[in-house]
Structure formats: structure tokens, C-alpha cells
Amino acid sequence: QVQLVESGGGLVQPGGSLRLSCASSEIQFSRYGMGWYRQAPGNQRELVARISTGGSASNADSVKGRFTISRDNAKNMVYLQMDSLKPEDTAVYYCNRGWAPLFAWGQGTTVTVSS
């Protein structure tokens, strides 16, 4: 089964930063627009940021100016740099195709923003 592996989450204080990584040994990310999603307890999974195959990025309004998605096709990696984190950013973060999820969801990586 195709697998996505997310990493980099953790506990951080409000205002702090984290960098999430997404990897796969089966999926060639360069073929797809990729995205980061998150799911907070009791909420539906939502798209946070996505990046096209050409590198054009867009963010959800809730994270604009704070989160930056990027990709490294040579390393087959997708990243999410998260700055100025807020408690409401607490969630499990997942990567998948950015324009309609296509792949089986990975386990995600948990981000907790708390003092």
C-alpha cells in the first residue's frame, strides 16, 4: 500500500515554530500538487496549504502569513514551515495530494501548541 510518512510535530509554546516533513518511498511527489491538511479533535480534516508541481503555493486564510509550504523534488519531500503558532493550530497534520486527496492517509504528526 502506498504510504505517506509525516514527521516533525511536537509540543511548542504559542509563538513558536515547527517544521513538518512529508516523505514517501512509493509516491513521486514531483508528479503531483501536494498539500498539508490538519484535523483538530472534534473537527473535520481541513486543507492548510498546497503547492503545485510548479511551486506555486497557497494557504488557508487561517494560516496566511504564518505557514509556508515547500517541496524538494530531488529529495522527494514536502515541508510545512509553521511560525507564530497559536493554540488553535493544535491538530494532527497530514500530507496528501493538494487538489483532492488521492493517497491513503498516513498516520500524521501531532502538533500541540500550549504554554
First-to-final CA distance of the chain: 38
Whole-number Å distance between alpha carbons of 24 and 39: 21
Would you state the pLDDT for residue 64? 97
Would you state the pLDDT for residue 6? 98
Would you state the pLDDT for residue 2? 65
pLDDT digits (tens, 9 = 90+) for 38-84: 999 999 999 999 999 999 999 999 999 999 999 999 999 999 999 99
Residue 86's Cβ-side half-sphere holds a number of Cα atoms within 13 Å equal to 9
Whole-number Å distance between alpha carbons of 13 and 103: 32
pLDDT digits (tens, 9 = 90+) for 86-111: 999 999 999 999 988 999 999 999 99
